[in-house]
């Protein structure tokens, strides 16, 4: 299976929401996300990964803030405060949610 980011973003542009679910399989849910000016996310109940499609900015992940750009991979464990800050107008990202509520158990 292949999902083209341009096609996903075109479908998202027709939606009133800043995100659109484009794929699901088992516990995996894949969304395309493009906030408008401000990222209003709240902590999620599952682990998640962001893979930046376009744009740049900074990303708050708990107490850490990092710069991001196209192609970057960002991991957020379940329940952690996070959001994109000071991002460019062309910012868009894939969002992958997976695993059980509360996140994966790690040893």
The CATH number that applies at residue 57 is 2.60.120.10
The answer as to whether 15 is a domain residue is yes
Residue 107 included in any domain: no
pLDDT at 69: 98
Inside any domain, residue 32: yes
Answer for the pair 81, 62: CB distance below 8 angstroms, yes or no: yes
CA atoms within 13 A on the CB side of 37: 0
Euclidean distance between CA atoms 19 and 62, whole angstroms:
22
Q: pLDDT band at 105, cuts 50/70/90?
A: confident
pTM of the entire structure? 0.94
pLDDT at residue 13 greater than cutoff 90:
yes
For the stretch 83-94, pLDDT in tens is: 999 999 999 999
Domain span at 20? 5-98
**Cα distances (angstroms) measured from residue 104 to each of 19, 30, 42, 68, 99:** 24, 17, 19, 25, 6
pLDDT at site 48: 97
The residue length of the chain stands at 107
Q: What is the pLDDT of residue 107?
A: 55
Average pLDDT over residues 26-33: 97
User: Looking at the 3D structure of the chain, how many domains does it have?
Assistant: 1
- Give a yes or no: residue 71 inside a domain: yes
């Amino acid at each position: 299976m292949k999902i083209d980011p341009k096609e996903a973003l075109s479908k998202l542009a027709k939606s009133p929401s800043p995100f659109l679910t484009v794929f699901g399989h088992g516990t995996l849910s894949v969304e395309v996300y493009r906030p408008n000016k401000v990222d209003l996310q709240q902590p999620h109940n599952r682990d998640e990964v962001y893979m930046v499609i376009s744009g740049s900015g900074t990303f708050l992940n708990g107490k850490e803030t990092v710069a991001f750009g196209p192609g970057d991979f960002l991991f957020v464990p379940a329940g952690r405060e996070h959001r994109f800050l000071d991002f460019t107008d062309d910012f868009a990202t894939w969002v992958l949610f997976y695993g059980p509520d509360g996140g994966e158990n790690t040893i």
